[in-house]
Structure formats: C-alpha cells, structure tokens
Chains A and B, each alone.
Chain A
Amino acid sequence: MITFVLMVNRQGQTRLCRYYQSINMSRRTALEANIVHTCLSRSRDQCSFVEYQESKVVFRQYAALYIAVGITEDENELSIYELVQNFVEVLDKYFSRVSELDIMFNLDRVHIILDEMIQNGRIVETNKSNILAPLNALDKMADG
C-alpha cells in the first residue's frame, strides 16, 4: 500500500505532499526533511528504493524535481516506480510539457489528478484519459 506521495525540489522545498495515513504535522515535517535528505544524497547509479524506518521509499528524479512515494513492505517497488512515471506523463499531457512552475501554480489541479490515480493508498486508475476526464470537464465548465 502507498503511504504518501511527496514532490520536492533540489533545494528541499516541498512542492506537493499527500498522505494516505493520518500523520501529525510535526512527524510529517521530520519525515519530509529526512526523505529529502536521503533522496538528495543518492546518486544516479544507486538503487531507487530506500528504507525509511519501517517503510520503503521509492523515488524518481525529474530534472530538479524529486518524486518520492512511501510504500509498505508488501508493495511492488518497481510497479510504484513506474506509477510515478505514469503520473508525470499524465501531468505532462495535461499541462503539455509540465514544469515545476506549472505544478506550483496549479497545485489544486495536480492534487485533483493525483486523487484520480491514488485513493486510500491504492492505485485506482492508470488510464490517462480516464484520469484526466473529470478535470477536463471542470475546465470546460469554467470556460463555457
């Protein structure tokens, strides 16, 4: 099961975070700081999976942006690694060439996309057009 999704930039600033287990603010800040530290200290040729306390973290780097996903022991690391790619591809499709700034200025939309893909720590949709359908409809409503 997925426990959290985190996006941080190279400076260690959080760009997006979503938790699928309830966690208090102070533990959250500590966790994010640790994860950023761990991810930033890893090199390209090292494994994309790290251990953090009792859970595993799968992370993937896109230029200056890191996406880290916390999972439990029974989850399949590689499938999560590819899920991250799928997520980025969806963002890319929606924003047509997504950038860090797109994510910052459209935090709400990115969250809406993520909500379509992951719920309660489970992967609920991976089909790109299905994922984007509700958001596209909302945008159309706003335009029209």
Chain B
Amino acid sequence: MSDVVEKTLTALPSLLSFDSQPGAAKLSSTSKLASLIRGITELTSKHEEEKLIQQELVAIKDQVSSPNTSMRQMKELMVRAIYCEMLGYEASFCYIHAIKLAQQGTALDKRVGYLAVALFLHESHELLLLLVNTVLKDLQSTNLIEVCMALTIVSQLFPKDMIPAILPLVEEKLTHPKEIIRRKAVLALYKFYLIAPNQVQHIHNKFRKALCDKDPGVMTASLHIYLQMIKENPEGYKDLTGSFVTILKQVVGGKLPMDYNYHSVPSPWLQIQLLRILSLLGKDDQSSSEIMYEVLDESLRRAEMNHNITYAILYECVKCIYTIHPKDELLEKAAKCIGNFILSPKINLKYIGLKALTYVVQQDPKLALQHQMTIIECLDHPDLIIKRETLELLFRITNGKNVTVIVEKLLDFLRTSKDDYTTIDLMGKVAEVAEKYAPDNKWFIATMNTVFSLGGDLMQPDIPNNFLKLISEGFDDGEQDRMLRLFAVDSYVSLLQGEPEKLPQRFLQVISWVLGEYSHLREDLEPATVVRLLAHVLDLKQASSETKSWVLLAMTKLCEGEAAMSVLQGVSETYSSSMDTVLRQRAQELQNLHLNPELWARVLPRDAFTEPLEVDSSLSFLDGYVSEALAAGAAPYKSPHQRQEELAQAKAVSMEPYGLSLPISMSLSSLDGRQSPTLLSMSSGLSGDSTDHSHKAGTTTLKLDKVKRVWGREGYLAQRESAVVEVPSPVHSADQIEEVGISQDPTPPPVADQEKQQLASSLFVGLGSQTSSSLMGKSEPKHQRLRKKAKDPVSSSEISKQTSNSIFPPPISVDNLLCNSNMDPKKSLPSCTQMTESSQGSAAANGTCAAEGEFTEGDVQGPEPSLFRDNRLTIAGSCETEEPVGMKDLCLTSYLPADCIGANHSEFTPLCSSHGVHLSACHVHKDDTLVLLVFISNSSNSDVHQFIVQVDSGDVEVSCLSESPVEELRCHHVEVCQYSLTAKRPSVHLEVSGLVSFNMPDRTPQTTHFSYKLPLPSFIRPLELSTEEYGTMWLAFSHDTKQNLTLVADVQDSLRATLDVLERKLHLHVVAIIGMEGIVACRLLPDQPCLMHCRVHGGTLAVWLRSPVPDLPDCLLYHCQRALQEV
C-alpha cells in the first residue's frame, strides 16, 4: 500500500504545493468565480464563511435573473451556486436557471446546466418535469455530444412518470454506431430499471444484445442491469451462466484492449462485477457452479500479483467460492488466500481478510481455528476498526463453550465504545448470544446486568422485553426457573442497595418489575425492605415518570399486609395528586388495593403466568351494558376502520380536490355490506363480530401506553416461538467436538505466549465439526443453555396475542390494574362508560352514516333483532316513516330458489319497505352469470294487489328469469324474483335500481324506489388459459394500468400468498407463477378478459393489468388493492 502512496506522491508533486501553482494563474483572476475561490481559501472561521457565502448568494441572485446575462456568465453563476450549496447554503433560486441553462446553453455551458440540475435537484423534485422537453430535444440532436449529455442526465435523474416519453428514443440509441452512445443508453435503461422496472420489461432481449456488444464498455454497462435482475430472480438467468463465465475468462486472460487495464490488471472492477453475478447464479445450484470452477481457479491463480486491486479481486473470488456449491480444491485455495490476507502486515489487507473470514465462518467455522492466534492478536489491535471486525467474527463463532470469553470481549469493547451506533449494535449481539448460550443463571443475570447498565437508554426496547419474557415464561425446569428468578432478585436488591442513581431508566424498570413479581421467592426478604428500596428509586431526581409508574406498579404487587404501611401511604398520597395522569392512576390503584386485600389477591395472583389465561375476547360481559346504552339512544360503536372510511367519505363530499380518491358510492356501499344485519350475525347473539371488539380492546390497552411494551409486539413474540421450536438440536457430544477442535488445529504457533494460547483455547472451543466434508451445511453446534419450556407454541402465542388485545391482560402485566378493576362491578361501570362514550363521540363526530340513515349495528344489538327493522333508511321515495315491524327471524334462506341453494350467495340486504311490504335482495354467483334475487315479503295482514317490480340499470344488463311476474302478494307471504345480470361496462361498483308499485287493499297506489349495489368482483370469473394463450392475448390488449400493491407479509412465499388472496376474494385464475413473477387471468361476465402480470419488486407487488375493455384494469386494480388491504 505504502508503495502506491509513494508512487502517487511522486506522480503528483503539485498537490503538495498550493501557492506555487502556475496552472491556476492562467485562469482569469478577475472573474467573480476566482474571487469567490480566493475568498474561500482565505477563510479562517465558520462565521466568516457564512458572511462570505451570504454575500455571494445575494450577488448571484441579482445577476441570475438579469435578462442581459449571457450563457457563458450563467455557467459561471451556476458553478458559484454549486460552491454555495457544497458548503451547505441553499441556493434554491438558482434551480430554475440551471434548467434554463441546460435548455439554452451550448457545449460546456449546457453540460454545466445539466450538472447543476443533477446536483441541485432530487428524484422527485417538481422542477424536474421542466427538463423533459430539453432532454427530448437533445436526444434527437444531431450533435453527438448533446445526445451524450442527455443520456447522462437521464441515467442520473429523471422523473419516473415521464419515462414513456423518452423511452423509444433511448431504445433507439441501443443500436447507435457510436459505442459511447450505446453505452450511455444502456446506463439510462439501467436507471429506468431501477426506478420503474415495469417500463423496460419488453426490452429484456435488447439487454442481451448489449451484453454481447463488441465494445467492452457497452457490455460492462449491461452487467449492472443483469446484476440487479439476477439479484431479484436468479432462476430466470441461469442460461446466461456460461456467457458470464466466458466473459470473465476473456477478461482474466487479457483479451480486453490495453486501456481497460488498471496497473496492468485487466479491468479489475469488471472482474469483481462478474464474480458477484456468478456467486448469485451459483448459489445453491450445483450445475451452474460446476461451469464456474475453472474460471474461478484461473482468477485465483492470475491474481497473485502484489497489488491492492488484485487483492480486491481475490476477496470477491473467495466470497464467490464460498457462496456457490462447494468444491474442495477451490475451498482449500480460498482458505489459503484468506490466511494470506489475515497474516499480512498491511492493515487494509488484514481488515479485508477478517471480513472474508467473518463471511466464511458461517459456512465453515473450522476455518477460524486455523487462524486463532491471529484473531487473538487482532482483538488487541490498536486500530478500533480491526477490533470491531474481529468482534463481529467472534460473534459468528459463538457457541455454548466459548460464550463467556466472547461476551467478555464484547463487553470490554462496549465499555470503551463512544459511538452510539456501535453500542446499540453490540448490545443486541451480546443479549442475543447471552440468551442463546448462557452457561448458568448467575452468569446470565450478571451479563444482562452489564448490558443494561452499559446500554443505558440507547438500548433497543426489545432487549429488556425479551429478558422479562424469558424470566417470566421460564424454561423446561421449574427449579431452574426459580433459581434464575432468585438470582435476579438477589442481584437487583444489592444493586438498589448500592447506587441506584447510576442505573439507566430501562434497567430500573426491569428491576422494579422483577422485584414486584418475584421478590416473594426470597423468603427471608421482607416485602417492606423491597418497598423501601423501590421508594428510594421514586425519589431519584432522574427517575422518569415512566420508570415511576413501573415502580408504583411493583409496589402495588408488594403491598400485601402491613408491610411498610407508612411508606406506601406516603407514596400513594404524593402521587395521587401528580400532574401525570398515569402516575395518578397507579397511585390510586396502589391505595385502593392496599386497603382491600381480598381484591388485591384476586387482581394480582402470584405466579399466574403459568396458568393459561382465559380471555373473553368478545367482551360479552359488556353486552348488557351496551344494549342498555343503545336502548337509551346511544350511537352504536363503529370500528376505527369504519370511522376512517366515513371520514374519507366526508372528505369526498366536501369536494376537497386532492382528498382520498374514494368515490362516495364505493365507501357507502362497502358500509352497506359491513353493516347490514345478516342472519349469521344475528344468530351469534349480542357479541357481534369479534374484530370490532378487538378494536375496542385495543383502544383500552392503548390508553395504558408505555409500560405495555414488556409484552413485546405480537410479531416478535411469534418469532421467538419459532426459535424455540427449532432450537433443541444438540449436535454431537460437545466434549468430542472440543477434542476434535483442538487437535485439528494444524499450526499451533510455538511463539505465542501461554496466555494467548489459553485465550485461544477458550475462544475456539466447540468450533470445527466432525462433518467437515459438508462445508455448506451450517454445522454450527446449537447448544442452548436457556431453553424455554416446550410449550405448545400455538397456545402460548395465542396467549400473548390475547394479552395485547384483551381487556384482561395476564395478572402480572403491568397494565393490568385498570383492566382488572373491572372485576369490581362498581368500578367497571365508569370505565365502560368512558369507553363507549369515546366511541360514541367519534361516531358522532363523523356520523355521516347515521345521518344518512344507513344500517347500523344497533340493529344487530337491539333486543329484538329483526331484519327489517329501521329499513326506512334506504327508501328513496317514501316520505313517511314506517313503524318497525316486529317480524321475527325471517329466514330468507329458505326462499332461495332450488338452483341457487348450493351456490355462493351474498348476504341479504334490505332494499326498501313500505306499508308492510319489504324488499330485500341478495346475489348468487354462478359460473356464467350473476343472479340477483329480490325477496318481497308482505308482513301486513292484508293482501297486496297489482304488484309490479321493475329492475333496471345503466351499468348492468338485466334480464328477468322468473316465468311469471308477481302480481299479487298475499299476507305473510314471500315471493322471489330472479334476474340475471351481466355488466355493460366496468365500474368499481355497479348499481341496479328498481321500482316497486302496488295497490293497498284500500286501492291507494304506492310506489317505492330502491337500489342495490354490486361490487365489481361479483361479475368477475376466473379465466382458464395456458401461458401461451396468455402471451398472445397480452400483446393484443390495449388498455392497461400499473401499480404497486402491498404483498401479504410475514409468509414465506409472499407472492403465492398474495395471489391466493386475490384468487379467493376476486375469483381470479392464477395461470402460472414463475420465480418472482406471476400471471393471472379473469373475465368480466359474460366474456371480457382481463390479464394481470405481477412481479415482486422491492417488497411490493408490481402489477400490470391489461384488458380490451377500457376502465376494467383500473376498476379491478381498485379491488385488488382493497382485497389486500383487508388481509
């Protein structure tokens, strides 16, 4: 390395001398730019700099808007503005002028205009749109330099939405005779691929042409696209493995022109790029890997020259060899290579060697053994970055045998670390390995104590959360659990007796919780002593109110009997008048429970965690209260989701131009669907649907904020569970491994002193496996000391889920008091009232629904649920309000026509009602049609005559299926009309409207209108196609739309899961799933096809819909979005 520096220094002597620079003098010393530069070089303080730049900005501003400024001057102004921005002063007034310069300038002036644009603006800057025309013009210019400039800016920064405008021009340049233009066009397409991959899908074969371009520069540029595409979908490009290998062979063999060499190494960065591509292709693929062995061997051999750049290639080569399907011979060479790096006296090489080793030990921990002495030396290296990298390596080889030594090393580093990022990172690592491999309880508690003390409040909250969870849930062995908790209690008591003011808040919270929960295990420890210690924490100046609330809670748990009466009273009095509501609440709880031991015992039973919780998630105990409140005229509860929709609807009504683009009709109808009382929900009684209740519960738990975190997020808990399942897989006898490990050490350095040897043997025990041949298999012995109880994973995760949702959290939960006080019937009332009131409040606030007379849950929850109650609401024409009819449990299902019984029918929706005649409807999905059923029931005591029902629609083709129209409706009778529907044109929701007219027994005519809305998916049916048919159809269709949708998260194959949801909910047909892409087809009744292409890209699902029918893709996309949102 130093030789290179020296070479550089001799080559660039002028860098040393600043004043004796003749080159600078020739620049016009009178120019404004020159004086700015001179000003900058003479700066001595930040203050001066600010003054100078502010002056400069004023001057630029003056000049830039003057009409007399020439383009040459403008260029200079832009460079000056670049200077200002570089020093951290915004010059946003120049942005528009930069665009102007790019537009109007020529040659270098124009280029500087483009440069300024690239430096000033970001990807989504609005001014960027103004650039599109300029780029368009320059792309068509006959001046190659201008074309070059345009392509350069396009490959740096271009508005995503405008890509189609220039895409054909850029594509055209792929066949340009000049190689620089072709190269830049490829780079522009690479940019497009990065920001809008869908747009360039159709030119994939042109990428292949670029890959085979005779100019190495063009080929190199195309590799960027390939690396990206292969990263996303390695399966799709396996056929190119051979080509990449051939290219690498030629490069390594020196077939490129000389000017591609760097220090006589042929195009090193190209080699690195190719090696990266190969390792992606060869990963877990033996046949592809086999093609590469030869060239990898060749690369290793060629790169023996002593230069940094060859080491960079070697590093990439080694990584590749350890990533692809293993070959012993190559692995051996690669291992030797790593050895050379690590042993090198050059520090940069040592670093890269450690990095390589860290990567490799994950595949082959044995390799660390060979270099143990070097690793130990690196641990004490004066350079922090080397030390840090070594710790990273040690972290990877941690096992049950060496955990104590490694954790000690990590903690040593933590103690000296000043960098927050490093601290947070290492903290998590220590906690992880400590939990995984702790040899005994005492060590575990002591280690975690150090982590908590050192980590302070920087620590990620999941570390204390996990720790508490571990302590409370325990492990396999009851006695062990007790011991662990005892250790914790002992250690915390002594910490509090020491200097609690030095402990961080998080640690104090953990301590309070553990003491509150488990200090009773130590029988000789008086609760009063603990209470006093805790009271001392409360008095600490630095104790945050969050910590205080944990402490108060712990005290509440300990307030049994006469213990420390005076202290407790004092505390509860002090905090009963606290400004902090949470603290006040806790103090009240403490006071009340202290005075009522019976209630205390019920609310806070000991060791209750072991017993499964029974949670009434439907909150049925509130039913009586809710129905009372409803009877008294309270507005029914609405879920947050529902409220939000109403809010969106309200926005739509207010015509806010850029509001949520939910058309009114859609949200209305979706409300319809949700709220209409169904037979099912009626029979399930008052509890209603459980999701709504879980929302309710959610709001109560939210109120209790802060402390709830102990229980972690649901997702995390689930993850822990899965870890538990796979853990108990002890490999071979650990002792055996140890023996093997030590005896396998091939070169025990004789010079190393005994201490280091000792450290080495303690660090590297348990490494190396007997199955050394299976290098790829992770043979890292999983030795887990702290195994969690092998609970039924489902039940325990359920419990944790319930914990977060339920109104009855587990008794040890910190937020249980408020909730549990509900057990006291007197107390339960106010909190319920509060809850309902708040929901009423919000319902009223956006109660558009109630005002428009939609159906509400009140119908479901009313004492006498009736399908037709309150259905005056949807009647459009009738001016009189009907008395609710007490028709009991009318079961419309029994009136379903015979051919519709098996089919999938929707909920029954009341349409209208007039003078005892009630209409309701449902639709039935059949393979080739959608059938609308209108049920007409007469609940009055007299017959109705001249009955006419007309159904019509602008959106839908309606044909009547019933043979004879209904004319008379006898009393207490139900008639059914059947209509077959097909969509005339697609729309998000299709509406059918109708008219009912009849004569009352007294001959007075009555007319009532109704309408019925059908979501588009009712008209969608799967379309069975082959992939080939799909391909031809795809090209033929003209109407398309594209969007990114959210994927179904937290599943392994998210694409499959997402498509399954769409298939199920929207009746689409999944034609094929290939790698990260899927194709889906469906038809709109009767026979209008719509095709969908999906691709997983960067965590989202990029979908592209095409159809011959206008609007169909858009409407379907809307429903896809909705379907996925509901998951």
Contact = CB atoms under 8 A, between A and B. Distances in A.
A53 B419 CA distance: 8
B269 A126 contact: yes
Contacts of A83: 269
A132 to B, nearest CB: 11
Interface stretch (B37-45, B572-580, B667-675): B37-45
Nearest to A55: B421
A123 B145 contact: no
Interface stretch (B81-89, B511-519, B545-553, B721-729): B81-89
Interface stretch (B3-11, B290-298, B394-402, B1110-1118): B3-11
A64 B9 CA distance: 11
A124 to B, nearest CB: 6
B156 interface: yes
Contact of A47 (B82, B90, B386): B386
A75 B8 CA distance: 24
Given A25-B88, A97-B14, A105-B37, A120 B191 contact: yes
A126 B269 CA distance: 8
Given A78-B352, A97-B13, A120-B194, A64 B18 contact: yes
A99 B347 contact: no
B155 A119 contact: yes
Interface in B157-201: 180, 183, 187, 190-191, 194
B311 interface: yes
Interface in A74-121: 76-79, 81-83, 85-86, 88-89, 92, 95, 97-102, 104-105, 107-108, 111-112, 115-116, 119-120
Interface string B29-56: 0000110010011010000000000000
Contacts of A46: 347, 382-383, 385
A108 B86 contact: no
Contact of B148 (A45, A61, A119, A134): A134
B502 interface: no
Contacts of B90: 25
B348 A141 contact: no
A95 B11 CA distance: 13
A28 interface: yes
Interface in A119-144: 119-120, 122-130, 133-134, 137-139, 141-142
A47 B385 contact: yes
B148 to A, nearest CB: 5
Interface string B204-233: 000000000000010011001000000000
A141 B315 contact: no
A115 B34 CA distance: 24
A22 B625 CA distance: 55
B309 A79 contact: yes
B1127 interface: no
A99 B119 CA distance: 23
Nearest to B155: A119
A51 B18 contact: no
Contact of B9 (A49, A63, A102): A63
A112 B18 contact: no
A91 to B, nearest CB: 9
B480 interface: no
A65 B14 CA distance: 12
A111 B187 contact: no
Nearest to B115: A111
Interface in B307-329: 308-309, 311-313, 315-316
Contacts of A3: none
B610 interface: no
Given A13-B40, A51-B385, A108-B79, A119 B187 contact: yes
Interface in A22-55: 22, 25, 28-29, 32, 44-51, 53-54
B37 to A, nearest CB: 5
A40 to B, nearest CB: 16
A137 B145 contact: yes
Contacts of A89: 11
A135 to B, nearest CB: 8
B8 A85 contact: yes
A112 B111 contact: yes
Contacts of A77: 348, 351-352, 355
B619 to A, nearest CB: 44
B340 to A, nearest CB: 14
B37 A104 contact: yes
Contact of A51 (B15, B262, B388): B388
B123 interface: yes
Among B79, B86, B268, B352, max chain A CB count under 10 A is at B86
B656 interface: no
Contacts of A65: 15
Interface residues of B, number: 89
Chain B interface main SS type = helix
B108 A138 contact: yes
B82 A100 contact: no
A92 B79 CA distance: 21
A125 B224 CA distance: 11
Contacts of A95: 23
Q: Which of A18, A83, A101 has the most B CB atoms < 10 Å from its CB?
A: A101
Contacts of A133: 180
Given A115-B152, A119-B156, A98 B12 contact: yes
A120 B155 contact: yes
Contacts of A111: 82, 115, 119
Contact of A64 (B16, B23, B106, B349): B16
B267 to A, nearest CB: 7
B260 interface: yes
B508 interface: no
Contacts of B388: 51
Contacts of B896: none
A9 to B, nearest CB: 9
Given A51-B385, A108-B112, A125 B156 contact: no
A76 B351 CA distance: 11
B682 to A, nearest CB: 55
B632 interface: no
B21 interface: yes
A116 B87 CA distance: 23
B1110 to A, nearest CB: 37
Contacts of B15: 62-65, 98-100
Contacts of A119: 152, 155-156, 187, 191
A11 B684 CA distance: 77
Nearest to A20: B156
A50 to B, nearest CB: 6
B272 interface: yes
Contact of B18 (A29, A53, A99): A99
A115 B315 contact: no
B14 A98 contact: yes
Given A28-B88, A119-B155, A139-B108, A63 B187 contact: no
A18 B1 CA distance: 26
A65 to B, nearest CB: 6
A78 B308 contact: yes
27 contacts: A17-B86, A46-B347, A49-B385, A51-B421, A51-B422, A62-B9, A77-B348, A77-B351, A78-B309, A78-B352, A79-B309, A81-B312, A82-B262, A85-B8, A99-B12, A107-B82, A108-B78, A108-B82, A111-B119, A112-B111, A123-B269, A127-B267, A128-B259, A130-B183, A134-B180, A139-B108, A141-B145
Q: Which 4 A-B pairs have the closest CB atoms?
A: A78-B312, A79-B312, A63-B15, A101-B24
Interface of B: 1-2, 4-5, 8-9, 11-18, 21, 23-24, 27, 33-34, 37, 40-41, 43, 75, 78-79, 82-83, 86-88, 90, 106-108, 111-112, 115, 118-119, 122-123, 145, 148-149, 152, 155-156, 180, 183, 187, 190-191, 194, 217, 220-221, 224, 259-260, 262, 267-270, 272, 308-309, 311-313, 315-316, 347-352, 355, 382-383, 385-386, 388, 419, 421-422
Given A47-B385, A78-B308, 7 more contacts: A14-B87, A47-B350, A61-B5, A85-B4, A116-B152, A124-B221, A124-B224
